[in-house]
Amino acid sequence: MTQLTGQPTTDDVVHLTVPADGGYLSVLRTATAGLAARLQFALDEIEDLRIAVDEACAMLLAIAARGADLDCRFAVTEDALTVEVTVPTAPGAKLPAESSFAWKVLTALTTSASASAVAGRATIALLTRRATGW
């Protein structure tokens, strides 16, 4: 998982759970934009992060178990937003290779991106640091 520089307080962690269905991704995109705006990210940084979260979720939806929920954890620190999206996976499902186009998108739009698959659950973690000053 991605390590944070400053640890968030309990008030700075938001958990959202939605059905693993593309129709619910707008909820996660909206939450992403709202939290990034709270950190005073520039408009283009907010849009990049929304696209990255959407891409990460699409990668996970493709391997999600039937009827699963998508768990999303947002951690806000002074200058960064970490988004971790997790889903139970279908038997034998694998995340796309790090050389895939989807991973190229994630790494281009965020400070860092990582993935793990353990015990039937896949997680993608995105870290984005604010490029502009307060």
Res 73 pLDDT > 70:
yes
Q: Up-side HSE of residue 20: CA atoms within 13 Å toward CB?
A: 24
pLDDT digits (tens, 9 = 90+) for 18-51: 999 999 999 999 999 999 998 899 999 999 999 9
Q: What is the mean pLDDT of residues 76-87?
A: 93
Element (H, E) at 113: strand 112-118
Q: Could you tell me the maximum CA-CA distance found in the chain, to the nearest angstrom?
A: 46
Secondary structure of residue 81 in the 3-state scheme: strand
123 Cβ neighbours under 8 A, 6+ residues apart:
1, 84, 85, 86, 115, 116, 117
Running DSSP on this structure, what letter comes out for residue 100? Answer: S
Res 15 pLDDT > 50:
yes
81 and 128 Cβ atoms separated by less than 8 Å: yes
pTM, whole model, 2 decimals? Answer: 0.86
Angle between helices 101-109 and 43-61 (to 10 degrees): 150
Q: For the purposes of burial, counting CB atoms within 10 Å of the CB of 108, is it exposed (0-12), middle (13-18) or buried (19 or more)?
A: exposed
Q: What is the mean pLDDT of residues 77-97?
A: 92
Edge-to-edge strand list for the sheet holding 112-118: 13-19, 69-76, 80-88, 121-129, 112-118
